[in-house]
């Protein structure tokens, strides 16, 4: 998804602080996800899949230098064709976030994973958004979605969600000096109010109900053979009947 101004904001000290944390978390999560095809949807200027070991890793966006140009809510991929999809701040800026997740569910193989990065509305940055969104500044213009809501949407689509990771507890200051001074909040916040981090990473795994294998009822077969006449039993089990004579 093309989000005007977001890539430029990530180059600021504030955006770099967020991106460094997200990159570290994504490196840990995607390194252990295996398969053949991994997709990064959005933020084409940042390689969020470099720690993944799948042979085919590519980016998709509405515009820019990407492998596939497409809308995030109408993906041009076959059903059950991808093993991993990463959504970096796509849902909070999408016009139809539900449809985006439905498309992700469609293109993922069974047991495939989606990894979502988002802004936490219940955080210091969430409060900053309430004060700044009327001025139309990125990233405060997005519709921030909480982790419980994301989990509810994923559950409805048949995903099993893993524990969310929260980070970036410092206030939304823009000065590098003040960001460094507030770094203590990252250690304190992770311990005392972990779910109040300004950003989060959530993983969902697509679960598909297995089919039930119906085995022959051998007991019924043995019961029917016992009810056969002696002539019929000799025809079906000639060796066993000769041994009993």
| Interval 61-102: pLDDT, tens | 998 889 999 999 999 999 999 999 999 999 999 999 999 999
What residue segments make up the domains of the chain, in order of their start?
Answer: 6-206, 218-245
Give residue-wise pLDDT tens across range 13-41.
999 999 999 999 999 999 999 999 999 99
The two three-digit tokens of residue 214, written as one number? 């119906």
| Architecture label for domain 6-206 | 3-Layer(aba) Sandwich (3.40)
Above 70 in pLDDT, residue 111? yes
């Amino acid at each position: 998804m093309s989000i005007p101004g977001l890539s430029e904001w990530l180059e600021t000290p504030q955006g770099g602080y967020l991106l460094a944390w997200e990159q570290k978390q994504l490196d840990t999560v995607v390194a252990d996800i295996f398969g053949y095809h991994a997709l990064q949807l959005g933020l084409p200027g940042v390689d969020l899949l470099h720690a993944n070991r799948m042979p085919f890793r590519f980016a998709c966006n509405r515009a820019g230098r990407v492998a596939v140009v497409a809308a995030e809510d109408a993906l041009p991929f076959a059903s059950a064709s991808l093993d991993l999809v990463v959504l970096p701040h796509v849902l909070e800026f999408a016009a139809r976030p539900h449809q985006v997740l439905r498309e992700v569910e469609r293109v993922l193989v069974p047991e495939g994973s989606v990894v979502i990065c988002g802004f936490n509305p219940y955080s210091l940055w969430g409060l900053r958004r309430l004060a700044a969104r009327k001025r139309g500044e990125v990233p405060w213009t997005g519709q921030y979605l909480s982790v419980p809501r994301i989990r509810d949407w994923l559950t409805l689509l048949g995903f099993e969600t893993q524990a969310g990771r929260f980070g970036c507890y410092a206030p939304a200051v823009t000065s590098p000096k003040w960001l460094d001074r507030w770094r203590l909040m990252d250690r304190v916040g992770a311990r005392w109010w972990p779910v109040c981090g300004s950003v989060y990473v959530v993983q969902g795994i697509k679960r598909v109900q297995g089919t039930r294998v119906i085995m022959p009822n051998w007991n019924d077969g043995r019961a029917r053979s016992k009810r056969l006449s002696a002539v019929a039993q000799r025809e079906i089990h000639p060796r066993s009947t000769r041994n009993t004579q």
